Structure 1
Amino acid sequence: MTASEIRQQFLDFFASKGHQIVPSAPIVIKNDPTLMFTNAGMNQFKDYFLGNKTPAHTRVADTQKCLRVSGKHNDLEEVGIDTYHHTMFEMLGNWSFGDYFKKEAIAWSWELLTEVYNIPKDKLYVTVFEGDASENLPRDEEAFNFWKEHISEDRILLGNKKDNFWEMGDTGPCGPCSEIHVDCRPDNERQAIDGKTLVNADHPQVIEIWNNVFMQFNRLKDKSLEPLPAKHVDTGMGFERLVRVLQGKTSNYDTDVFMGTIHITEQLTGKKYEGTDSRKDVAFRVIADHIRAISFTIADDQLPSNTGAGYVIRRILRRAVRYYFSFLDVKKPLLHDLVPVLAAQFSHVFPELQQQVEFVKKVVFEEENNFLRTLDSGIRRIEDLMQQQTASKVVDGQTAFELYDTYGFPYDLTMLIASENGFSVDEPGFKAAMQQQKDRSRAATAIDAGDWVVLDETPDSVFIGYEQLESTTKLLKYRTVKAKGKEQFQLVLGQTPFYAESGGQVGDTGVLHFGDEAIHVTDTKKENNLIIHFADKLPTNPAAKVKATVTKDKRHNTARHHSATHLLHAALRQVLGTHVAQKGSLVNAEALRFDFSHFAKVTDEELAQIEALVNEKIRQNIPVVIKELPKEEALQLGAMALFGEKYGDVVRVVIMDPAYSVELCGGTHVATTGELGLFKFVSEGAVAAGVRRVEAVTGALAEAFVNEQLQQLKEIRNTLKNPKELVKAVETLVQDKSSLEKQVEALELEKVRQLAAGLRDQVQDINGVNFLGQVVNVSNAEGLKQLALQLKNDIPNHVLLFAANIGGKASVALSIAEELVTAKGWEAPKIIKEKVAPLIKGGGGGQKSFATAGGQETDKLDQVVAAVKAILG
């Protein structure tokens, strides 16, 4: 069977058992502050387990894109080394929300594996929870007894809390689990050693493929457990491992899930994959795995960056580049050529990559190109460092960490280059620096959330803010959260007019009146399905009726900017082309920011066309029609859906002229486009490879912006004595300035020549070295540099030191003859760092034979000359 057939059989099997087949959620998580990425199949159903939302279907099944490279679930360093760990993987899952429980889950998993997939029963083992006396948790007798109906008792193994008790996090739903393991060893090995001794022992051929989690408890902050009001089933089967078993392979990478990518990599590199543990074959596996994580995450709207989720993706990409650079001897971008292969392979199950293949390819190419330059410069930095450390033969840990953290240079590559040159790396120093960074990061992001104090068990927070900005409601629950040393108070209301931050639109602010007590809402956010109000304090009487009032002006101005993004998006596609797709936005009361896919700078002419088109639609005063429709019907209308967003079966459609703008959107909007008044661009620029950003304002803010620009023009006109042709007058002014600068530059150069001529006679012979050190009068640092460069060619075997007070700042230039650098080991940057910088309270650097410095202390320039002179003896 092919991988596609295996996946479809799973979905068809559970459809036959009454399960609704649902699509994968995006791999990037938007409304859960506890997670960056979907790392398990249950993430999209978290609200059902928490009781925050009522499911539309009590039985569902799916295949979910998952990513495990950060936090608790971090498999990155294992990937490619072994045969079964991955960054991005598919999790096949079947779910019961308060419907069936252990009996059915166990029976169906056994039926599918042994009767549909025909895995031999004598290759399977199962584990059940053995209990935990410290928490007074008994053995899972129910699961044990249900398994006895299908498998012999000697193949039912007891597992400890680590392996067989699943928890969502430090708090929340949890329960015992029952894993299914398969022994893939050859028959002779299985006969020689009993497979039960290898279960959960990290044997590469005795692997877990399915986990049945039985959620029946809720973990509280004090670590105690309470029974859940409804019991749930959460299962997950690793798709890649299942395919490996059914295709009779000894490695996940030998299946058709990965071999297509590996074959293309062979063609691109001219190397052969042999499936061994060699670094070359590890590189093939790393590339085949990592390109999936990179491509699908970018397709789900997460661009590589230097922070958060974007940094995780950048790390994965750079690890892949590092492997092909070092072990496949490829020095040019490679990964981008694999994106179309992957897109075609998954087009029927995850079509979002195929729909954006050129965009994703472009982003990956630019990231590769940039990192290859980083590798090249990093290698030069290490080589320079090793030349300076010939005595110790050690690359210090702080330097290795700086290369890794600041420049993105892989630590293992630093070790490899060092060892090839007879050096070692201070690994304890590197690890200490790394741990300090982790501690700082953990402290900066640590959130200590207390348990919810529940006043009402109503499961859903109802948003009514589309229709009204005030409501009378009740408090459902509240909690205190500590973050960055400060207390925050979070409140959940039964119904709320407050819009929670989503889709780029900021959350509402306002006031909650508990009787006569006013509590100010500073922000509103979503956590899964909960609408959480961030308050400045807790109510003294939580049971009192609540009058919730949104700050109206802020909401109205925000709505104007949100509606403007829809008009803008449509105009961008009309003027630039239908390849344009939204890649991020920020909508607030002050402005709008809109990121979109486009591979060139938007010209001034194009910006003018786009702006004119938006303003035309504003003047037409088009009614903004909002409908709730089944998703398929909305898409048939031509509604644009954003990549990386999770939509329900019924969606909200915002229409501004059916022939112009139809989008799926949960944000707040104006009633007619005329309410926007005026649309005006403020800026345009690049955000990342293939992504541009425009910023704009509407309404009174746009008028204020235009008036400010007009006022500046008026002031310029007045300054230039009201010329008839303002542009021509400014051009003449610029030309005159350029001409004068050239004259000044020529005069400065002549001054430096004269100064150099006067200094040649002041050279001193100190122990055979020609030393010239002077505090001189020059007007800029470039003049100081030119002075040194002019004299260095005339004075052999020299050390030249020139210092000057330039605009109240100390400036220094040091030149050392190449022969002295070699013979004496004198290096200009080192002397600057050790002898000059401390005196002038500054810093600097340069090449071994020439370096410059700048600092604050101008009264120490004579001491600088003396300090350098003293080196010569």
Structure 2
Amino acid sequence: MKSAQIRQTFLDFFKEKQHEVVSSAPMVIKNDPTLMFTNAGMNQFKDLFLGNSEIKYARIADSQKCLRVSGKHNDLEEVGVDTYHHTMFEMLGNWSFGNYFKKEAIEWAWELLVDVYKIDKDRLYFTVFEGDEQDGTEMDEDAYNLWKAILEKNNLPLYKILKANKKDNFWEMGDTGPCGPCSEIHVDLRNDDEIAKIPGRELVNADHPQVVEIWNLVFMEFNRMANGELKSLPAKHVDTGMGFERLAMVLQGKQSNYDTDVFMPTIDKISQLTGVKYQNTLDVSVKTDVAIRVIADHVRAVTFSIADGQLPSNTGAGYVIRRILRRAIRYGYSFLDQKEPFINELVSVLAKQMGEAFPELLAQQELITKVIREEEDSFLRTLEKGIHRFENYLATANDKTVDGEFAFELYDTFGFPIDLTELMATENNFDVDMPGFIVALDKQKERSRAAGKIEADDWVVLREDDVEEFIGYDYTEADTYLTKYRRIVAKGEEFYQLVFRLTPFYPEGGGQVGDTGYIDNGFEKVEILDTKKENNLIIHFVKELPKDYYTKFKIVVSNDRNLTACNHSATHLMHQALREILGTHVEQKGSLVNAEYLRFDFSHFEKLNDEQLQQIEDFVNEKIQANIPLNEHREIPITKAEEAGAMMLFGEKYGDVVRMIEFGDSKELCGGIHVDNTSEIKLFKIKSEGSVAAGIRRIEALTNIGAGNWLKEKVDIIAENNLTGLIPLEIKNQVEEFKNNLMDECLKVSNDCKDIDLKSPGVSQLDAITNAINEFTKIKLPQNIIEGLNTKKKEILKAAEEGNKEKASQIKDELLGKVEVVNGVNVIAQKIDLDDSAAIKDLAFQLKGQIDNLFMVLGAEVNGKPNLTIVVSEELSKTKNLHAGNIIREAAKEMRGGGGGQPFYATAGGSNVEGIQAAIAKALSFIA
């Protein structure tokens, strides 16, 4: 039976048992700070178990995409080594929410496995919870007796039922939350001779590769409290999870998940691309097989994550995805001799194989391929730098042991797995200080745990029967009651989370920031710092708890909701513009909307030119001037929204009833706050456009007051720097008219404009000319005026260049007289007065050519920003193991900046000019 048929058979079986078949939720979780990824099938139904959402379907079946790479449920280190652990996997599940319980779950499991899938019943074993004295829970006699009845009916021995402890047979999502006893079904895949030697019952839960758990039936009846206590849930539920990949292994008669048609197309492609034959052995000493399995697994996890909207990055979920991909690249580099990108070519195999079940793979195949390709290019360069760093270390080592701290630096900074460091060390007759590496690794893990640790008390419920309601689409204040609260500690800081009967506060979501404001009961006022959504509850964050819980509160939104609405609605119009001007391949990949500006990430594979940006601006401003009213469909069936052509984002989980926002032809599913008419936006101005990842562009833009102020500042810079003196009288009048019209338009936006200081002190004439050229080009002033400005700009640049050359020559003479010898090294460490980075570079290389054994640090202020330059002579880099790029990264932190470069020359910038001297001192400490 092919894997696609296996999946469909499961869903069809439970559909016949009156289960509603639902689609998989995204792997990347939103609105739940306790989880980063979906790590179990039950995650998307957590609200139903907790009673925070209405149960629409009492019976559900699905195939859920899951990812397990961190935390309590972490399978990463087993991936590729054994036959059945994976990072990304599918979990087939059937669910009962207060409907059927143990009897149906157990009897249907037997029916599906034995009668439908035709698994040999003699190879099956069943575990039940034996009870736990510490928790005060008893053995699951009901599950035992149900299995006993089935075995007796089928003439099977009762020793096939095994009692197991809390570790194996009591399922918990995390430290707190819904949980309960479970009954696992295991299958023995060994041949008859092996079974005759050791009975399967002795290998259940013993990590044997051919005696594996295939299905877990969880009977969810408790809620684990923060103090460890178990409380009964209001209703009893069933939560089952069967590993799709393991089921395919059983039904296809294989000894490994990797031998099934779930993985073999990818494995065959890896062998074809690398020229390395897959030997299909579980001998871990055959590193090429382990590497091929790791890559086949990891590319699935990365591909599905990107399809769900999560790009590799340096923070949060994106960092986890990047680490998974880099792990795959390292295995290819180390064991398959792949020094060029190739993993991206596997995406097409996955899209063809799984695109029917998961159409998001086909829809985003090109984007996923490009993102992975860029990540491969980048990380392969990093690996080369790490190898060079390793070689430099060996060349200057005092003994034949690689220091543990250094091994950890290779792991943490350059992504080297410790086995790669050990391999390179062995090739050079070195050992690795493994205890030192473990200590450094444990310290990092502890720092990570501390940084991300959130401690939450149990909810204190004040009003048991109240149902929370959001009224923020219509109101910004309300009279309401507090229904529950709890204390949390995040990153060492204490907060309280409040839930109200009614709230106008919009919780962070859909790119829009959460509302802020206050609550007031007449004698005390408490500030609300943020609003988020967690497990379908709208959570208000405060630093102090109101003294009187039970009084009526006035709850008021105080942030500028109107300006936020302008930016959010403009985002929809810009999305429409991008798709019409660039093409329908454009998809939203992230956004940020607040009162100050909007940020929009979208899929596109090249930089937007000035003409395209102008077209987008014009399109949005035309929609603003068209006075298009909002047509809000607050509750519309998703099928109707689809028929209407509403935009739906990959990575979002939509319900059967959705909210659709419509401005003319712009139709999107959205839960955010919007203007009543596009005219309220007033003005739309693109501030910047750039790349954030392979195939992903970002536009930042302004509306309303923000757009008006930005343009006014540009015009004022032109006026304040007397640039109109370069312009003939008739053109001066045109510029003045343009400026006055712009001022009038801005004053229409808000009377607040006249109170804002429009001056831009510190703007040089060169900057002003550059801005003038840009603005005059856009307002289409005559070309001879723009050419005149360009000529003036060139004159200023030439004069500055000549002046800096003369100044640099004087500084050079001064520095030659200030060389000091420190530990046998010629040192120059000085802050210089040279406001030109090109001139500083030229000066640095002149001195490097004149002074042997030189270590030089130059600090300067360039265009009002700190600048740092480090030069290390070649011989000094080799003998003292000094690397200018590594040193400057540390030193630049003193200027609140960063930088990098080669071993012999590096530069850095920053934001704190007061830190230049400290940065110079930090750099000097490397030779002290």
Q: TM-score by structure 1 length?
A: 0.89
Question: Does the 8 Å CA contact 2:683/2:707 hold for their aligned counterparts?
Answer: yes
Number of residue equivalences: 837
Q: 1:859 deviation in Å?
A: 13
Q: Quick check: 1:358 aligned with 2:366?
A: yes
- Spell out the pairing of 1:16-95 with structure 2 (5 A cutoff): 16-95=16-95
Map of 1:335 onto structure 2: 343
Q: Quick check: 1:667 aligned with 2:681?
A: no
Q: Quick check: 1:450 aligned with 2:457?
A: yes
**The one of 322, 325, 330 aligned to 2:333:** 325
**The one of 495, 512, 519 aligned to 2:502:** 495
Q: 1:93 deviation in Å?
A: 0.3
Q: 1:540 deviation in Å?
A: 2.4
Give, as a single letter, the amino acid of the residue that structure 2 aligns with 1:474.
Answer: Y
Q: Secondary structure at the match of 2:414?
A: coil
Please tell me the root mean square deviation across aligned C-alpha atoms, in Å.
3.6
Q: Quick check: 1:296 aligned with 2:268?
A: no
Q: Secondary structure at the match of 2:529?
A: strand
Once residues 301 and 853 of structure 2 are traced to their aligned partners in structure 1, the CA distance between those partners, rounded to angstroms, is 55
Give, as a single letter, the amino acid of the residue that structure 1 aligns with 2:454.
Answer: I
Cα 1:625–1:803 change in 2 (3 A) is closer
Cα 1:237–1:722 change in 2 (3 A) is same
Q: 1:828 deviation in Å?
A: 8.0
Map of 1:98 onto structure 2: 98
Map of 1:604 onto structure 2: 610
Map of 2:324 onto structure 1: 316
Q: 1:419 deviation in Å?
A: 1.6
Q: Quick check: 1:482 aligned with 2:489?
A: yes
Q: 1:228 deviation in Å?
A: 1.4
Map of 2:776 onto structure 1: none
Once residues 884 and 248 of structure 2 are traced to their aligned partners in structure 1, the CA distance between those partners, rounded to angstroms, is 62
Once residues 528 and 727 of structure 2 are traced to their aligned partners in structure 1, the CA distance between those partners, rounded to angstroms, is 52
Give, as a single letter, the amino acid of the residue that structure 2 aligns with 1:618.
Answer: I
Q: Quick check: 1:122 aligned with 2:127?
A: no
Question: Does the 8 Å CA contact 1:76/1:87 hold for their aligned counterparts?
Answer: yes
Cα 1:387–1:477 change in 2 (3 A) is same
Map of 2:715 onto structure 1: 710
Q: Secondary structure at the match of 1:228?
A: strand
Once residues 398 and 668 of structure 1 are traced to their aligned partners in structure 2, the CA distance between those partners, rounded to angstroms, is 51
Q: Secondary structure at the match of 2:25?
A: coil
Give, as a single letter, the amino acid of the residue that structure 2 aligns with 1:532.
Answer: I
Give, as a single letter, the amino acid of the residue that structure 2 aligns with 1:705.
Answer: W
Cα 1:654–1:753 change in 2 (3 A) is closer
Question: Does the 8 Å CA contact 2:859/2:916 hold for their aligned counterparts?
Answer: no
**Greater mean alpha carbon deviation, residues 842-851 or residues 722-731:** 842-851
Map of 2:779 onto structure 1: none
Once the two structures are superposed, what CA deviation does each residue of 1:326-356 show, in whole Å capped at 9, x if it has no partner?
A: 1111211111111111112112211111111
Q: Quick check: 1:556 aligned with 2:615?
A: no
Q: Secondary structure at the match of 2:532?
A: strand
Map of 1:795 onto structure 2: none
- Spell out the pairing of 1:793-872 with structure 2 (5 A cutoff): 826-827=879-880, 829=882, 856=917
Q: 1:459 deviation in Å?
A: 7.1
Give, as a single letter, the amino acid of the residue that structure 2 aligns with 1:734.
Answer: K
Give, as a single letter, the amino acid of the residue that structure 1 aligns with 2:4.
Answer: S
Question: Does the 8 Å CA contact 2:885/2:903 hold for their aligned counterparts?
Answer: no
Q: Secondary structure at the match of 2:86?
A: coil
Question: Does the 8 Å CA contact 1:128/1:157 hold for their aligned counterparts?
Answer: yes
Question: Does the 8 Å CA contact 1:478/1:489 hold for their aligned counterparts?
Answer: yes
Once residues 907 and 493 of structure 2 are traced to their aligned partners in structure 1, the CA distance between those partners, rounded to angstroms, is 45
Q: 1:494 deviation in Å?
A: 2.2
Q: 1:467 deviation in Å?
A: 2.2
- Spell out the pairing of 1:451-850 with structure 2 (5 A cutoff): 451-458=458-465, 460-514=467-521, 516-551=523-558, 554-627=560-633, 628-657=635-664, 660-718=665-723, 727-740=786-799, 743=802, 782=841, 785-788=844-847, 790-791=849-850, 826-827=879-880, 829=882
Question: Does the 8 Å CA contact 2:848/2:871 hold for their aligned counterparts?
Answer: no
**Greater mean alpha carbon deviation, residues 52-61 or residues 745-754:** 745-754
Q: 1:813 deviation in Å?
A: 6.5
Cα 1:775–1:646 change in 2 (3 A) is closer
Give, as a single letter, the amino acid of the residue that structure 1 aligns with 2:791.
Answer: T
Once residues 829 and 3 of structure 2 are traced to their aligned partners in structure 1, the CA distance between those partners, rounded to angstroms, is 76
Q: Quick check: 1:2 aligned with 2:8?
A: no
Give, as a single letter, the amino acid of the residue that structure 1 aligns with 2:59.
Answer: R
Once residues 791 and 634 of structure 1 are traced to their aligned partners in structure 2, the CA distance between those partners, rounded to angstroms, is 72
Cα 1:815–1:126 change in 2 (3 A) is closer
Map of 1:415 onto structure 2: 422
Give, as a single letter, the amino acid of the residue that structure 2 aligns with 1:704.
Answer: N
Map of 1:205 onto structure 2: 210
Q: 1:845 deviation in Å?
A: 11
Once the two structures are superposed, what CA deviation does each residue of 1:794-852 show, in whole Å capped at 9, x if it has no partner?
A: xxxx7678999989999997757x6xx89xx8448499999xx99xx999999899999
**Greater mean alpha carbon deviation, residues 722-731 or residues 609-618:** 722-731
Cα 1:455–1:774 change in 2 (3 A) is closer
Cα 1:71–1:774 change in 2 (3 A) is closer
Q: 1:743 deviation in Å?
A: 4.2
Question: Does the 8 Å CA contact 1:829/1:845 hold for their aligned counterparts?
Answer: no
Q: 1:73 deviation in Å?
A: 1.3
Once residues 127 and 683 of structure 1 are traced to their aligned partners in structure 2, the CA distance between those partners, rounded to angstroms, is 60
Q: Secondary structure at the match of 1:492?
A: strand
Cα 1:437–1:774 change in 2 (3 A) is closer
Q: Secondary structure at the match of 1:370?
A: helix
Once residues 273 and 868 of structure 2 are traced to their aligned partners in structure 1, the CA distance between those partners, rounded to angstroms, is 54
Give, as a single letter, the amino acid of the residue that structure 2 aligns with 1:546.
Answer: F
Q: 1:681 deviation in Å?
A: 1.2
Question: Does the 8 Å CA contact 1:828/1:846 hold for their aligned counterparts?
Answer: no
Once residues 880 and 428 of structure 2 are traced to their aligned partners in structure 1, the CA distance between those partners, rounded to angstroms, is 21
Q: 1:360 deviation in Å?
A: 0.8
Name structure 1 gaps, 5 residues minimum.
793-797
Once residues 316 and 802 of structure 1 are traced to their aligned partners in structure 2, the CA distance between those partners, rounded to angstroms, is 40
Once residues 799 and 526 of structure 1 are traced to their aligned partners in structure 2, the CA distance between those partners, rounded to angstroms, is 60
Question: Does the 8 Å CA contact 1:492/1:532 hold for their aligned counterparts?
Answer: yes
Give, as a single letter, the amino acid of the residue that structure 2 aligns with 1:593.
Answer: R
Cα 1:109–1:833 change in 2 (3 A) is closer
**Greater mean alpha carbon deviation, residues 95-104 or residues 69-78:** 69-78
Once residues 869 and 539 of structure 2 are traced to their aligned partners in structure 1, the CA distance between those partners, rounded to angstroms, is 56
Question: Does the 8 Å CA contact 1:813/1:852 hold for their aligned counterparts?
Answer: no
**Greater mean alpha carbon deviation, residues 157-166 or residues 726-735:** 726-735
Q: Quick check: 1:286 aligned with 2:294?
A: yes
Cα 1:830–1:671 change in 2 (3 A) is closer
Q: Secondary structure at the match of 2:650?
A: coil
Q: 1:438 deviation in Å?
A: 1.9
Once residues 81 and 829 of structure 2 are traced to their aligned partners in structure 1, the CA distance between those partners, rounded to angstroms, is 60
Q: Secondary structure at the match of 1:73?
A: coil
Q: 1:536 deviation in Å?
A: 3.6
Q: 1:600 deviation in Å?
A: 1.0
**The one of 161, 173, 177 aligned to 2:178:** 173
Q: TM-score by structure 2 length?
A: 0.84
Name structure 2 gaps, 5 residues minimum.
152-156, 732-783, 909-914
Cα 1:345–1:785 change in 2 (3 A) is same
Once residues 394 and 575 of structure 2 are traced to their aligned partners in structure 1, the CA distance between those partners, rounded to angstroms, is 53
**Greater mean alpha carbon deviation, residues 843-852 or residues 646-655:** 843-852
Q: Secondary structure at the match of 1:41?
A: coil
Once residues 165 and 856 of structure 2 are traced to their aligned partners in structure 1, the CA distance between those partners, rounded to angstroms, is 73
Cα 1:180–1:410 change in 2 (3 A) is same
Q: Secondary structure at the match of 1:480?
A: strand
Q: Secondary structure at the match of 2:64?
A: strand
Q: Identity of aligned pairs, percent?
A: 56
Once residues 832 and 25 of structure 1 are traced to their aligned partners in structure 2, the CA distance between those partners, rounded to angstroms, is 44
